[in-house]
Amino acid sequence: MILPKKIGSFFKLPIQLFYGVPYPELAFPNFRLDYLDLIDIEPGDSKKWNDRLTDDGRWEHNLYNFLVLALRKLLFTLPSEGKLEGTVRRDGGPLHEAVREAMINCITYCDYLLGGVLRIDRRTDRIVMRNPGTLRISPERIYNGDYTQARNSTIQKMLRMIGFGDNIGSGFMKIIKAWDTLGFNNPEIHEEPEVNEVWLTLPLSVKSQINSQAYSQINNGHNIKDYSRVDIDDNSDSQIISHINSHSDLSVIQRSILKHMVSFPESSIEEIANALGTKPESIRYQRRLMQDKVVTEKAGSNKAGQWKITFIG
């Protein structure tokens, strides 16, 4: 393997671990890497995994290859948002960017000298990233994003030099912001002291903490002020809510947004976000995602205008 010229001055052990030169298992005999696709697999099932990437002799066992191969496998299991930048289509979106950042953090903050397994589990409703070690700062400070200190600064620098990471300590906040935008339940990071591991759980389920009063009114079709601007013929409130509920191409949070717009046609983006227990960025993002199925626009001013909903097709 030919190493980049800029890597020549780095320490020997990180190079062994990252690029597999000469053999990382000699320097780190008690450490290994593991990726498991466990979608729709429950404990006790005869089928143990759908796909696995581990030290089985089929690939050169090092951090760089694991990052590239495992990340590719993981991203293929997740929805990809496609958008045009100029004349070029860019796939991925905030979900892919955040998962990529989480894997970089997992590799950067792992304590390789402890031994154990750096493991990525893709489960049905979540992604769990586990790495040997302890948290260097409290979870509260991690969530606030006010301080960061990489355990493996050399590996962090190597990652940055090949295009992974920006080395300014913004990684976890990028994950939090993406999960807010997507409307998912908050990521959780904690220590498992019995096995000397740090676990990062990325839920793939939508937040359910909707304002109870608004939720009741939305689902029962109450408080609907004016349907003249809702482009769904002249149906009754219950028929409109039923139409939204039956739209199989819409996610749970997208249906909730539409029902809130129908029930409270003068509500602002901020008011919708507050009622659904999420952020305004998430509402705007979901509107963009469903614009090929449902177009939502405010007729009139932001304060006095009312939402107009148009179903396509």
Give bridge partners of residue 118 from the DSSP assignment.
Answer: 33
- Flag whether pLDDT at 149 surpasses 60: yes
- Nearest-10 crossing angle of helices 153-161, 12-19: 50
* Residue 172 reports pLDDT greater than 60: yes
Alpha-carbon gap, residue 286 to 264, rounded angstroms:
18
- Distances from the Cα of 261 to the Cαs of 240, 244, 309, in angstroms? 11, 11, 8
Q: What pLDDT sits at residue 11?
A: 42
Q: What is the arithmetic mean of pLDDT over 223-237?
A: 43
pLDDT of amino acid 230? 39
pLDDT at 311 over 60: yes
* Mean pLDDT value across residues 106-130: 93
Compute the mean pLDDT over every residue in the chain, rounded to the nearest whole number. 79
CA distances from 279 to 114, 135, 150, 233, 273 (A): 39, 28, 29, 31, 5
Quickly list DSSP for 191-238: EETTTTEEEEEEE-SB-----HHHHHHHHHT-S----TT-BBTB--HH
- pLDDT, one tens digit per residue, over 14-70 is 555 555 554 555 567 788 899 999 999 988 899 999 999 998 888 888 888 999 999
Mean pLDDT on 71-87: 82
Give DSSP secondary structure letters for 37-87: E-TT--TT-S---SEEEESSSSS--SHHHHHHHHHHHHHHTS--EEEEETT
Query: What pLDDT was estimated at residue 237?
Result: 61
**CB–CB of 216/294 below 8 Å?**
no
Nearest to 178 by CA among 88, 292, 92, 291: 92
Task: Give exposure, 184-215, as e/b (b: 16+ Cβ within 10 Å).
Answer: bbebebeeeeeeebbbbbbbbebbeebeeebb
Find, among 79, 83, 59, 80, the residue nearest to 70 by Cα.
59
CB–CB of 271/233 below 8 Å?
no
**Does the structure show a pLDDT above 50 at 130?**
yes
Residues of the chain with CATH 3.30.565.60: 5-203
Nearest Cα residue to 63 out of 128, 131, 127: 131
Residue 91, pLDDT above cutoff 60: yes
Tokens found for residue 7: 């890597």
Instruction: Return the biggest CA–CA distance within the chain.
Output: 73
In this model, does residue 106 exceed pLDDT 80? yes
**Model pTM score:** 0.69
Task: Tell me what the mean pLDDT of segment 66-79 comes to.
Answer: 94
- State residue 40's pLDDT score: 94
Query: Which of 3.40.50.1010, 1.10.10.10, 3.40.50.150, 3.30.565.60 would CATH assign to domain 5-203?
Result: 3.30.565.60
Least reliable range by pLDDT among 86-95, 173-182, 193-202, 252-261: 86-95
Fold (topology level) of 212-311: Arc Repressor Mutant, subunit A (1.10.10)
Do the strands 116-122 and 31-37 form a parallel or antiparallel pair, or are they unpaired? parallel
* Every domain range in the chain assigned CATH 1.10.10: 212-311
Contacts of residue 3, Cβ cutoff 8 Å, sequence gap at least 6: 15, 19, 21
Q: Is the peptide bond before 203 cis (omega within 30 degrees of 0)?
A: no
Q: pLDDT, tens digit, for every residue of 201-229?
A: 999 987 654 444 444 444 454 443 433 33
% of the chain at pLDDT higher than 90: 27
Confidence check: pLDDT of 241 > 70: yes
* Residue 288 confidence (pLDDT): 86
